[in-house]
Amino acid sequence: MNAVTTIERPVDTSRLRGFVTALADLIACTRDEQALLESGRTLLARLIARDDWLPPEYARPDPDRYQQYLLHCDSRERFSVVSFVWGPGQSTPIHDHGVWGLVGVLRGSEQVERFHRLPGGGLVAQGSDLLREGEVDAVSPRISDIHRVSNGRADAPSVSIHVYGANIGAVERATFAPDGTPKSFISGYANRVIPNLWDRSRNA
């Protein structure tokens, strides 16, 4: 008996292409972080309002740890767009970013625990929030930059779209022990290939 082969239809990435184009235009117009976060939040909310554009290979969970897939990096590394995929029970360590960022939940939910680092190096918890599908959060060293993120669902994966003001996979950042002791890291990406947003041969 012959096995049936399932062929995945190409996903229309025109929504993502439109998003990165609009974001590049925004960054070209202003360097004001507050303006970037406010207008960028609107753009990201519009992108995640529909869930029909993310290629499935960038939404696959890993049984051992969360995955960070690069979707696009600006040619001058002014910003990057990534998908985070969380399996049940997975979470990040406490960490910072060093740059502004926006986080929008595409599928499922995320639990966000916020921390403030004292001048002496210790950490103080600043509460937590549950981000649901369609909601957008912001981070930056100016407003709040240290947090721990967990999958808000215990029995299914969650997927969020993150936008950062740099090539986040190449930025030297820090994780923090509960007492505030930092440890440097560079996250990199889980991709084996990068999506081609600019090929219009398969979609409009």
> Which pair of tokens denotes residue 27?
């960054």
For residues 109 and 132, is the Cβ–Cβ distance under 8 A? yes
DSSP state of 98: S
147 annotated to a ligand binding site: yes
The angle that helices 14-29 and 33-48 make with each other, rounded to 10 degrees, is 170
> Which pair of tokens denotes residue 95?
């960490």
- If we measure between CA atoms, which residue out of 121, 113, 62 comes closest to residue 86? 62
72 annotated to a ligand binding site: no
- Tell me how far apart the alpha carbons of residues 146 and 41 are, in angstroms, rounded to a whole number: 19
H-helix segments, the chain: 14-29, 33-48
For residues 119 and 201, is the Cβ–Cβ distance under 8 A? no
DSSP state of 119: T
Secondary structure of residue 23 in the 3-state scheme: helix
For residues 57 and 85, is the Cβ–Cβ distance under 8 A? no
Q: Which residues are annotated as a binding site?
A: 95, 97, 147
Q: Which residues are annotated as a binding site for Fe cation?
A: 95, 97, 147
